[in-house]
């Protein structure tokens, strides 16, 4: 608006207004959650159902998807058959990074077990879903559905559900959403085919 009117942003949007109204890259931030488990229970299911072109799962295990999204393997297979780009970037169960994180989490349901359970669910898809493994995303998970991204940043010894989680929606080129897409693509490019 400032550009169209030929006025300085500071004149059009005084500081008090800028603090109350999102005017920059922060417009992409839809929500902040203290824990991934605080996300609305239906959010992942809704994002998966709505997505038409891109469904990227960049969680180290993405184990919770199978618990929260009914019939996910068939739904994702259908999305892939209909031309969507469906990808799973899982953790490497044999990596020393995974073993080290298991010691930190100290839970009977190990990362390797959760990864294996995700692989078993993915294998149920009627159309084979692309899967790669890496240990580079142990501290941050990124799930992208068309123009929505869920990003979970892992904290201390907490499990994935305890991660501070952000929800972004693309509003501009080069904004935070696009940066997370670049992040996922870089990890995907370096990952091993499972």
**Distance in angstroms (rounded) separating the CA atoms of residues 134 and 191:** 5
At residue 164, φ and ψ (nearest 5 deg) are -60, 130
- Indicate the fold that domain 28-193 takes in CATH: Endonuclease; Chain A (3.30.870)
pLDDT at 172: 93
What percent of the residues of the chain are helix, what percent strand, and what percent coil, each to the nearest 5? Answer: 45, 20, 35
pTM: predicted TM-score of the whole model, two decimal places: 0.86
Contacts with 130 (C-beta within 8 Å, 6 or more apart), sequence order? 86, 87, 88
Contacts with 54 (C-beta within 8 Å, 6 or more apart), sequence order? 84, 85, 144, 145, 146
Structure tokens given for 55:
């469904």
| Radius of gyration of the chain, Cα coordinates, nearest whole angstrom | 19
C-beta neighbour count of 187 within 10 angstroms: 18
pLDDT in tens, 127-186: 999 999 999 998 999 999 999 999 999 888 778 888 999 999 999 999 999 999 999 999
Q: Average pLDDT, stretch 62-67?
A: 93
pLDDT at 4: 75
C-alpha distances (whole Å) from 20 to each of 5, 82, 114, 169 are 22, 42, 42, 19
Q: Average pLDDT, stretch 46-72?
A: 95
pLDDT at 70: 92
**Distance in angstroms (rounded) separating the CA atoms of residues 3 and 131:** 45
Which parts of the chain fold into alpha helices (H)?
Answer: 2-5, 9-12, 15-20, 43-50, 63-68, 72-81, 96-105, 111-122, 176-190
Q: Average pLDDT, stretch 30-45?
A: 93
Under the banding of pLDDT at 50, 70 and 90, the label for residue 22 is: low
Statement: residue 23 has pLDDT above 80: no
Q: Average pLDDT, stretch 29-38?
A: 94
pLDDT in tens, 86-134: 999 999 999 999 999 999 888 899 999 999 999 999 999 999 999 999 9
Under the banding of pLDDT at 50, 70 and 90, the label for residue 9 is: low
Statement: residue 48 has pLDDT above 60: yes
């Amino acid at each position: 608006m400032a550009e169209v009117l030929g006025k300085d942003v500071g004149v059009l949007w005084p500081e008090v207004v800028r603090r109350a109204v999102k005017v920059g890259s922060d417009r992409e931030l839809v929500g902040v959650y203290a824990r991934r488990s605080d996300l609305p229970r239906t959010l992942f299911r809704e994002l998966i159902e709505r997505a038409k072109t891109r469904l990227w799962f960049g969680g180290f295990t993405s184990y919770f998807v199978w618990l929260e999204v009914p019939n996910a393997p068939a739904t994702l297979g259908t999305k892939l058959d209909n031309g969507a780009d469906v990808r799973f970037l899982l953790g490497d169960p044999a990596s020393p990074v995974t073993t080290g994180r298991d010691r930190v989490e100290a839970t009977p349901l190990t990362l390797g077990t959760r990864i294996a359970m995700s692989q078993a669910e993915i294998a149920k898809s009627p159309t084979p879903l692309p899967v790669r493994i890496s240990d580079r995303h142990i501290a941050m998970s990124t799930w992208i559905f068309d123009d929505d991204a869920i990003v979970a940043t892992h904290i201390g010894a907490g499990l994935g559900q305890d991660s501070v989680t952000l929800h972004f929606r693309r509003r501009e080129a080069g904004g935070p959403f696009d940066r997370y897409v670049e992040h996922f693509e870089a990890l995907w490019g370096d990952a091993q085919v499972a």
